[in-house]
Chains A and B, each alone.
Chain A
Amino acid sequence: MAIKEEFRPDSEQHTQLITGEQTYQSLEDSISLVVLDQQRHKSNWYLVAGLGFLGVNMLMLTVAYLLYMGIGIWGNNQPVGWAFDIINFVWWIGIGHAGTLISAILLLMRQPWRNSINRFAEAMTLFAVMCAAMFPLLHTGRPWVAAYWLFPYPNWMGILPQFRSPLMWDVFAVSTYFTVSAIFWYVGLIPDFATLRDKAKKIWLARLFGVFAMGWRGAARHWQRYESAYLILAGLSTPLVLSVHSIVSLDFASSIVVGWNTTLFPPYFVAGAIFAGFAMVIILAIPIRKWYGLDHIVTMKHMDWMAKIMLATGMIVCYGYFCEMFYAFYSGESYELQAMEARLTGPYWFLYYALWFCNFFAIQPLWVPAVRRNLSALFWISIIVSIGMWLERFVIIPLSLNRDYVPGSWHMYYPTAWDFSMFFGTVGFFVFMMWLFVRFVPAINIFEMKDLLYKLRLSARHSDKGSSEPAGGGAHE
């Protein structure tokens, strides 16, 4: 029970999960007024949301042209059949994983610090998975025509999908992941919608939140069922999130392409996903907590812990890079050696070194506590990590494909402007959705924060009495 030890009531860290003198009302106000008091959204909200909206428009134009012309507008072509579409898919899915890690795995591990960040991390998951899903769907060219080999539905051609392919597993994994994440997020929101319903001054607003709250009245028997359902949902999401990125990695690992065919891929991809995801949580949390005065709820302690997880998963990813080199060397396989040589000295060498810089060297300052508590350092390191994880997928995908077993078919891959407009379009979509979410949905779990406040007080009282009883660590016992 090493985890519990950290949350002993006398531990100083404990008090830092919520700072200042807080009451249920003050916590509730600081979270819910972001939604209920629309005057609080100033020009910086409009600036970021506006930039996001520009991205959404760029995305829509790109998709319209793509559907009109076909995927020939992208740069991928034989032998590089997979490029930006899969790079961006894996990158976005990975970003989503931190949300599930925070909401489900940290819940099971009874880490109360998750309560301050789980809601918007889950929202981030949803929007990231939406962005991710666009790429493989649009890579089919015309998704409505492709439906017959994506989902088993009775069709007049009498054709059904091929369940032995990891690509099919991916369809089920990602669609399940999105659905379960959405359910989990919504279930967490029900009591908060009830709070907003009871707090709203305008009748139409109260009715709107009332519809979403589904008549939640906080009855003790309902809470008991709610908590057992929520905990089991977390228990289901935990293996789910690990399965999703493992399956994504099997898209590669089960092929015979050089550099892909290794058993290392599933854990290496999962670690990379969490690494990139925590970077994105930090990037989003820093401006939101500052602009909406939430720094007493998302405290420096949270930042510190997120930075530590980022560092730890980053080091696992770097271990993966060493393993890849070692595998190439130890296999003695000339093609594997040639692929590794192509990474180090081939035409895309600068991307490989940039990857090492972003994902290995740039995170080393995080060993120093002062860097983990310096928000601008943390913000820029997270940006670098996000770029680095994107580069990692570039290094894995086109670099392995552009030099296959037959030198005669070697071909350079260059993305086109449409590749970039689609990618930055989804970035804009993601930002736009996140900013809408912050404005219209409580971005932090209100009832869990109250519960946390109650437990912190309780444990403070216990420690005053000198009791050795451990604190109520988790939000859900």
Chain B
Amino acid sequence: MTHEAPKNGVFGIVAEFTTPEEVLSAARRTKEAGYEKVEAYTPFPVHGLADALGPEDHRVKWIIFWGGVAGAIGGFYMQWWVSAVAYPHNVGGKPLFSWPAFVPITFECMVLIASFAAVIGMLALSGLPRPHHPIFDAKNFDRASRDRFFLCIEADDPAFDPEEVTRFLRSLGAQDVSEVPA
């Protein structure tokens, strides 16, 4: 989601709602009306909202999965290399490649790398950390993390027309509709 080429110094038009149900139905109707560059901002996760705005992003699950695979293979390989190749050492007559004893650390490495993948993947796919974003200039937006629910139709939407979008958002029952400077 890159926000390039804003139209006339406008990032988008944002509508403010007071309940999760309102923003959810507004999001659905916005998509039905054919707008594509739409994002909602809520103080807590509203289920179905991401789905209403477009296909859900399942990449993070795969990033975690492959992180886990890499961790497990890496952990197991490290133990094999240390125990059988780099530092072969006879401990109690056990074989050098005594794989059952390597299972716990393989598991721990799997969890460790998968967890890093989860956080880094989740943040990177969302473009975070990002110190500033135009939406922060929206009117009343400091309540988006508190008790208000926002829906923004962005200026790079092909069907974007400031008056039309404002009228449309008002028709959705928004408490307030305002323009966000780019």
The interface of chain A, by Cβ under 8 A from chain B, is 23-25, 28, 152, 158-164, 166, 168-169, 172-173, 176, 179-180, 183-184, 186-187, 191, 194-195, 197-199, 210, 214-229, 232-233, 236-237, 239-240, 243, 247, 447-448, 450-451, 454, 472, 476-477
| Cβ contact within 8 Å between B146 and A24 | yes
**Sample (5) of A-B pairs whose CB atoms are under 8 Å apart:** A183-B118, A214-B130, A218-B144, A224-B56, A236-B118
B87-A160 in contact (CB<8A): yes
How far is A14 from B65 in the complex, measured between Cα atoms in Å? 35
Question: Which residue of chain B lies nearest to A195 when distances are taken between CB atoms in the complex?
Answer: B145
**Contact indicator B105/A169 (Cβ below 8 Å):** yes
Contact partners of B98 in chain A: CB under 8 A: 164
Give min CB distance, A168 to chain B, whole Å: 7
Q: What's the Cα separation between A325 and B82 when bound, in Å?
A: 41
A173/B104 in contact, CB under 8 A = yes
Stretch at the interface among B4-12, B107-115, B160-168, B170-178: B107-115
Q: Which residues of B contact A197 (CB under 8 A)?
A: 145
B43 in contact with A217 (CB, 8 Å): no
**B112 A180 Cβ-Cβ under 8 A:** yes
Docked-complex contact B58 and A454, CB < 8 angstroms: no
Give the CA-CA distance A239 to B61 in the complex, in Å: 18
Complex-state Cα separation, A471 to B83, whole angstroms: 53
Q: Report B-chain residues with C-beta under 8 Å of the C-beta of A187.
A: 118-119, 122
Minimum-distance CB pairs A-B, first 9:
A224-B50, A214-B129, A229-B122, A24-B147, A198-B142, A215-B130, A160-B87, A220-B40, A223-B45
**CA distance in complex: A243, B106 (Å):** 12
Instruction: Write out the residue numbers on chain B whose beta carbons fall within 8 Å of the beta carbon of A219.
Output: 39-41, 126
Report Cα–Cα, A223/B122, bound state, in Å: 10
CA distance A168 to B106 in the complex (A): 12
Complex interface: chain A residues within 8 A of B33 (CB): none
Chain B, range 129-171, C-beta contacts under 8 Å to A: 129-133, 135-136, 142-147
Tell me the B residues contacting A by CB distance below 8 Å.
1, 20, 27, 39-47, 49-51, 53-54, 56-58, 60-61, 64, 68, 78-79, 82-83, 86-87, 89, 91, 94, 98, 101-102, 104-105, 107-109, 111-112, 114-116, 118-119, 121-123, 125-126, 128-133, 135-136, 142-147
Nearest CB to that of B121 among chain A residues? A229
Query: How far, in whole Å, are A162 and B51 apart by their CA atoms in the complex?
Result: 50
Contact A191 B83 (CB under 8 A): no
Contacts A163-B82, A198-B143, A216-B145 supplied; 4 other A-B pairs, CB < 8 Å: A164-B83, A217-B133, A219-B39, A222-B126
Given A163-B101, A224-B45, A28:B40 Cβ within 8 A: no
Taking the nearest CB of chain B, how far is it from the CB of A233, in angstroms?
A: 5
In the complex, what distance in Å separates the CA atom of A236 from the CA atom of B104?
14
Taking CB atoms, residues of chain A closer than 8 Å to B125 are 225
Are A23 and B132 interface neighbours, CB within 8 A? no
Minimum distance in angstroms from B117 CB to a CB of chain A: 9
A229 touches B119 (CB 8 A): yes
* Residue in chain B with minimal CB distance to A164: B101
Instruction: Please determine whether B111 and A176 come into contact, CB atoms closer than 8 angstroms.
Output: yes
In the complex the two chains form, what is the Cα distance from A197 to B132 in whole Å?
Answer: 13
Contacts of A472 in B (CB 8 A): 47
- Decide: A215 and B132 in contact? CB cutoff 8 A: yes
Is B87 a contact of A240 with CB atoms below 8 Å? no
| Most chain A CB within a 10 A radius of its CB, from B54, B105, B131, B143 | B105
Known: A159-B87, A169-B104, A191-B145. Contact between A218 and B42, CB under 8 A?
A: yes
